[in-house]
């Protein structure tokens, strides 16, 4: 069985309950976790250890919080108010956990679904999305990591151009795959607004409604957008249902042409108060 799972964000106990609900067996099944494995919840270390131990039975995408952990661990980004990453950084197996994390993906195809953490710009088709994700994955896994991480943050460039090179190119790819919510018809990124899709952002709209989107018709699954809530459409799944904010953790079974939504509620004591964002 194949299950796609929304943002866990360090909510280890609800994650274990969800695995029970979906009757997960690593010898038989596979899960795809759509990024933001860590941070804000109380059990980031437990989540990383659990996922790493599952081996090939767990495909994990990198979200903005996961990249934030890598940047903090390298000393190129300061921890933010409300981060719950200290346990990971101070663990005896911290280096092993971080090494496992940097080996994870930014995009993945599973059972015909293009899986990303946040979204895509309209200029990219499926093949280009996977190829560009692979470019940055190579950087994150290699010796250029320490060079790129200090240059990873920032909102420029705003629009994709095939001629982009080096850190500017990689930054745009990261911003799109891990941060996008709204974009313009020309693919320009609007990275400040975190409201629901109904928010009025002059000149911008939800990325998945962009006219001329080259991935239109390609089934896509993503997380990241907790204020959007569950979206369950024939070719679109949004699975960040706000577990870390006291909502639910969601899985959708997608194998064999079937689709089944399964959720576990997250106890209110899991939910932090308003916190500074890492976008």
Q: In the chain, which residue ranges form alpha helices assigned H by DSSP?
A: 12-21, 44-53, 64-73, 86-90, 94-102, 126-141, 145-148, 166-179
Name the pTM for this structure: 0.94
Instruction: Specify the pLDDT at position 201.
Output: 84
Locate 23 and state its tokens. Answer: 């009757």
For 131-180, what is each residue's pLDDT tens digit?
A: 999 999 999 999 999 899 999 999 999 999 999 999 999 999 999 999 99
Instruction: Specify the pLDDT at position 278.
Output: 56
Instruction: Specify the pLDDT at position 196.
Output: 86
What count of other Cβ atoms lies within 10 Å of the Cβ of residue 254? 22
Spans of the chain below 70 pLDDT:
268-279
d(CA 8, CA 34): 9
Q: Domain extents for the chain?
A: 2-270
Indicate the length of the chain as a whole number: 279
Residue 123: DSSP 8-state: T
Instruction: Specify the pLDDT at position 276.
Output: 44
Q: Topology of domain 2-270, per CATH? A: Purple Acid Phosphatase; chain A, domain 2 (3.60.21)
Where would I find the beta strands (DSSP E) of 117-235?
A: 182-183, 189-190, 205-206, 220-222, 231-233
For 53-64, what is each residue's pLDDT tens digit?
A: 999 999 999 999
d(CA 237, CA 247): 17
Backbone φ and ψ for 96, nearest 5 degrees, come out as: -65, -40
Instruction: Specify the pLDDT at position 267.
Output: 73
């Amino acid at each position: 069985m194949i299950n796609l799972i929304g943002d866990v964000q360090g909510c280890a106990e609800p994650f274990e309950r969800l695995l029970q609900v979906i009757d997960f067996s690593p010898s038989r099944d596979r899960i795809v976790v759509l990024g933001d494995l860590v941070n804000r919840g109380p059990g980031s270390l437990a989540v990383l250890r659990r996922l790493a131990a599952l081996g090939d039975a767990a495909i994990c995408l990198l979200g903005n919080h996961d990249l934030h952990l890598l940047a903090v661990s390298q000393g190129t980004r300061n921890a933010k108010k409300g981060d719950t990453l200290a346990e990971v950084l101070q663990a005896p197996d911290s280096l092993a956990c971080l090494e496992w994390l940097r080996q994870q993906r930014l995009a993945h195809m599973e059972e015909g679904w293009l899986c990303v953490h946040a979204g895509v710009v309209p200029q990219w088709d499926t093949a280009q999305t996977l190829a560009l994700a692979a470019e940055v994955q190579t950087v994150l896994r290699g010796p250029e990591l320490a060079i790129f991480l200090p240059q990873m943050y920032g909102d420029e460039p705003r629009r994709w151009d095939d001629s982009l090179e080096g850190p500017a190119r990689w930054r745009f790819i990261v911003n799109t795959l891990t941060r996008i919510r709204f974009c313009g018809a020309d693919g320009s990124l609007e990275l400040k607004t975190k409201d629901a899709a109904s928010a009025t952002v002059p000149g911008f709209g939800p990325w998945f409604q962009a006219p001329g989107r080259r991935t239109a018709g390609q089934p896509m699954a993503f997380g990241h957008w907790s204020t959007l809530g569950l979206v369950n459409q024939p070719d679109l799944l949004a699975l960040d249902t706000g577990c870390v904010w006291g909502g639910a953790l969601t899985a959708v079974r997608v194998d064999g042409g079937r689709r089944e939504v399964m959720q576990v509620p997250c106890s209110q004591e899991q939910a932090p108060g308003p916190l500074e964002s890492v976008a």
